[in-house]
Structure 1
Amino acid sequence: MSPTDRSPSPLPMLLLLLLTVTTGLVDAISVLGLGKVFTANMTGNIVFLGFAAAGTPGFHPLSYVLAIGGFLIGAFLAGRTGKRHEGRPLHRWLMTAAVVEAALLWAAALVSCTFDVASQSPDTALFGIVVLTALAMGFRNATVRQLKVPDLTTTVLTLTLTGLAADSSAAGGANTNWARRCASVVAIFLGAALGALLLAHAGMAVPLALAGLLILGGTMACALHPAYRQSIPV
């Protein structure tokens, strides 16, 4: 049985929606600030890597390889972290995940202080930000996946939008989780818009630092819920 089966409110929707907002922030930073690379959405990187392999100008394979590699390592570490927290209170696991993710994003914010977006230099800073944010997003994805909350993956909306249309009353469905699905779409839209504005007017460090703050602060607030005191089943 997953943690979400143990309580009527094992993971408040507001927390997952807040995490979805931070995904929009990170995507805005990576796509607009790091030269066409996703660090939260690996589908885009696979497509871009294909473009680069075909010799299409403007696509740099190393960024995509580093993003995918960082994401996989982050997901691996999150999987190990989840296993190590079996039998322990849920709030400890979620706080550990939040601290790791926030620390990685704050480290990326520090590195970004040495990075010039206009010239995309130096390369060491560019690749450092890519790896750090990809590690954070891989860790996030694997943690949320283990929590098994439907229609709130916090990073990918393709299946969410598919379900919204396919399960609609117009398609003969029951409008399953329509409010949650719509909220997820709005959350990532708002995060992306906010990230773009902050990147343009305040630089890269500010939205990265804000994303880490929202993740850690939101998780700390939600960890006070009694459901988080229950143990994760082994």
Structure 2
Amino acid sequence: MAASPVAGPEDPLPLVLIVLSAVTGLVDAVSVLGLGQVFVANMTGNTVFLGFAVGGTPGFEVPRYVMALLTFLVGALAGGWIANAFVHSTRRRWLLTVAAVEAILFWAAAVVALEYDVENLSPASRLFTLIGLSALAMGLRNATVRRLKMPDLTTTVLTLTLTGLAADSSLSGGENKNWRRRIAAVVAIFVGAVIGAVLVRTSGLVVPLVVTGAIVLIVTIAYALHPASGATAGEPDGS
């Protein structure tokens, strides 16, 4: 049976995922600040916002959240297909393929954003295309990172990371072996969000979307140059 795709002590994969966590902050800034309070990486937030919209709360519109949820699921489905297709290949080929698709989706979104009005969220066709492309990319990312089985580094969600940081701490009698990784993930998303907010406010959506795609591709190519990326991608996760 192929080896599980879990990073060894010399594997820089945790650092790659921390950088991708910062990218999530960028993406969330684009979607929340520029697409009408929609998350494309955090589906918990969208589900709650959808509830607000169904409850008639002003400023929350059902179609936006439905679009984000559905396209995220399609992206996650595609991520599962790709992972299964590369199960007997190397992690290098698998992750490069995913990164290329993710980058293309973000760059396509950047092109769509050229004629998009952030202030008025118009035209609607471009708004929904931007939501769809970004959510597809993040669904793909989430499915891929899930297969990597890297504890505390989902790159998109911090609830369990923060819970582990507190629940496993010495104050609770735990060892908290991954505290550096957990703190790094929190800081990365925070810093990414700050940078994303500045970019959206000063330059609109095109620049942060281009930067997002570039970082995803560059950091994955850098990882592909490391010998650890030649490990077998691993069997599909049956959980």
- Would you call these one fold, judging by a TM-score over 0.5? yes
Q: Say yes or no: does 1:74 pair with 2:79.
A: no
User: Which residue identity does 1:34 align to in structure 2?
Assistant: L
Q: 1:90, 1:229 within 8 Å by CA — same for their partners in 2?
A: yes
The corresponding residue for 1:42 is 43
Q: How does 1:159-198 map to 2 (within 5 A)?
A: 159-198=160-199
Count, aligned residues: 233
Q: Secondary structure at the match of 1:4?
A: coil
Residue 8 (structure 1) shift: 3.1
Residue 206 (structure 1) shift: 0.2
User: Which residue identity does 2:132 align to in structure 1?
Assistant: V
The corresponding residue for 2:5 is 3
The corresponding residue for 2:202 is 201
Q: Secondary structure at the match of 1:134?
A: helix
Q: 2:199, 2:208 within 8 Å by CA — same for their partners in 1?
A: yes
Q: How does 1:47-62 map to 2 (within 5 A)?
A: 47-62=48-63
Where does structure 2 lack aligned partners over 5 or more consecutive residues? none
Where does structure 1 lack aligned partners over 5 or more consecutive residues? none
d(CA) in 2 for partners of 1:92, 1:213? 18
The corresponding residue for 1:92 is 93
d(CA) in 1 for partners of 2:165, 2:198? 29
Q: Percentage identity across aligned positions?
A: 56
User: Which residue identity does 1:213 align to in structure 2?
Assistant: A
Q: 1:30, 1:36 within 8 Å by CA — same for their partners in 2?
A: yes
The corresponding residue for 2:117 is 116
Q: Say yes or no: does 1:138 pair with 2:139.
A: yes
Q: Secondary structure at the match of 1:39?
A: coil
d(CA) in 2 for partners of 1:208, 1:232? 28
d(CA) in 2 for partners of 1:40, 1:101? 13
Q: 1:4, 1:11 within 8 Å by CA — same for their partners in 2?
A: no
TM-score (norm 2): 0.95
d(CA) in 2 for partners of 1:12, 1:54? 42
d(CA) in 2 for partners of 1:2, 1:210? 32
Q: 1:3, 1:10 within 8 Å by CA — same for their partners in 2?
A: no
Superimposed CA distance per residue, residues 86-120 of structure 1 (whole angstroms, 9 cap, x where no aligned partner): 11111000000000100000011110111101111
Q: 1:12, 1:222 within 8 Å by CA — same for their partners in 2?
A: yes
